């Protein structure tokens, strides 16, 4: 084998590795580097402060609230999106014009930009003139403050995220369901297995790779939420909807505390990495690959 034949595979993947390094690897290391400096984004000099930004970060009660908001938002969004999408997938996993129409209707929010969705839901959740309060008023219930009160604002953002995410997750689940061999269900029918028992002992275990994949990408996506918060709540009221990415944006591009914002970015990177690693360690051995 000539030298060119040996180097050829590396040359073919080199452009992808270069792009990945420039736009992903380098920014991560540069963020870690900036987290150890006090810099206002304008001054040509950076003041080295070591780990002081991290100390200040965890002393800040607002940041601890942001961490709590981010974790609660992630847990609610992932669990509700996965659960509801799985129910829809089981229902829609059949042929017919009606079911095809419903699949398209459910998937349509996924292809709409978050900016448009945020503007739409801001109107729907308007406390005085919103369609949601008008609808619940027809049943005699009191109007809800939705985005204007700390007790309901974060849940309101979760509703928006779940509504947008159900379509994609449902189609992925349907693909997973259709890849399950039909003879398994024929054997279950011969054994007169009840539907719920078949789902619990056959369908769901066979869907475990799909569930594993969707939980990972939904978890990462929920930590990256920004547009809905920026448009609908701006982190309020009373810091009740502020999450890590919006917190980083606030301190980085509004207050120009780049080192402090970079430290928050490092914390976000560590949290996502640890949660992903923990999820892999706990559940990877329980995945049933066909």
**Considering the domain boundaries, does residue 5 fall inside one?**
no
CB distance 65 to 57 below 8 Å: no
Band (277; pLDDT cuts 50, 70, 90): confident
pLDDT interval class at 185 (50, 70, 90): confident
- Mean pLDDT (whole number) for 20-37: 93
Position 226 scores a pLDDT of 93
Confidence of residue 79 (pLDDT cuts 50, 70, 90): very high
Is 97 a member of any domain? Answer: yes
pLDDT at residue 288 is higher than 70: no
In a domain, 20, yes or no: no
For residue 21, the model assigns a pLDDT of: 92
56 band by pLDDT with thresholds 50, 70 and 90 = very high
pLDDT band (50, 70, 90) for residue 81: very high
Tell me what pLDDT residue 287 has. 60
Residues 6+ apart with CB under 8 A from 173: 85, 86, 88, 89, 90, 207, 210, 214
Task: Kindly report the number of other CB atoms within 10 A of residue 23's CB atom.
Answer: 9
Q: Give the pLDDT of residue 209.
A: 86
Could you tell me the residue range of the domain that residue 209 belongs to? Answer: 55-286
Task: Give, rounded to a whole angstrom, the gap between the first and last alpha carbons of the chain.
Answer: 37
pLDDT of 29 over the 60 cut: yes
In the chain, how many domains are there?
Answer: 1
pLDDT in the model for residue 189: 80
Mean pLDDT of 59-65: 93
| pLDDT exceeds cutoff 70 at 1 | no
- Residue 192 reports pLDDT greater than 80: no
pLDDT at 286: 61
On whether residue 21 sits in a domain, the answer given is no
pLDDT above 90: residue 201: no
Residue 198 has pLDDT above 70, yes or no: yes
Closest CA to 147 of 243, 241, 249, 222: 241
Can you say whether residue 94 is alpha, beta or left, with left for phi > 0 and alpha for psi between -120 and 50 degrees? beta
* Average pLDDT in the chain: 89
pLDDT: which is higher, 202 or 284 = 202
Residue 136: inside a domain, yes or no?
yes
Q: Which residue has the tokens 């990495």?
A: 273
Residue at 45 is within a domain: no
CATH number, residue 213:
1.10.3720.10
**What was the pLDDT predicted at 247?**
95
Q: Is residue 131 part of a domain?
A: yes
């Amino acid at each position: 084998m000539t030298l060119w034949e040996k180097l050829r595979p590396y040359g073919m993947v080199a452009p992808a590795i270069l792009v990945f390094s420039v736009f992903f690897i380098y920014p991560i290391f540069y963020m870690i580097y900036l987290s150890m400096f006090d810099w206002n984004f304008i001054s040509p000099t950076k003041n080295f402060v070591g780990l002081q930004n991290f100390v200040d970060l965890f002393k800040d009660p607002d940041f601890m609230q942001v961490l709590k908001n981010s974790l609660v938002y992630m847990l609610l969004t992932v669990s509700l999106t996965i659960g509801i999408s799985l129910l829809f997938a089981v229902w829609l996993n059949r042929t017919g014009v009606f079911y095809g129409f419903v699949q398209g209707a459910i998937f349509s929010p996924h292809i709409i930009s978050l900016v448009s969705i945020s503007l739409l839901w801001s109107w729907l959740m308007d406390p005085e003139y919103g369609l949601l309060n008008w609808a619940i008023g027809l049943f005699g219930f009191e109007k809800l403050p939705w985005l204007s009160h700390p007790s309901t604002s974060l849940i309101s953002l979760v509703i928006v995220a779940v509504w947008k995410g159900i379509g994609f997750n449902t189609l992925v689940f349907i693909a997973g369901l259709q890849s399950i061999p039909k003879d398994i269900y024929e054997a279950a029918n011969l054994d007169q297995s009840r539907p719920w028992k078949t789902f619990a002992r056959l369908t769901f275990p066979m869907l475990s790779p799909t569930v594993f994949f969707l939980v990972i990408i939904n978890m990462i996506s929920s930590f990256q939420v920004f547009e809905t918060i920026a448009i609908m709540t701006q982190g309020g009221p009373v810091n009740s909807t502020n999450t890590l990415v919006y917190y980083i944006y606030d301190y980085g591009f509004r207050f120009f505390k780049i080192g402090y914002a970079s430290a928050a970015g490092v914390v976000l990177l560590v949290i996502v990495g640890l949660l992903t690693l923990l999820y892999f360690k706990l559940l990877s051995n329980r995945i049933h690959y066909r």
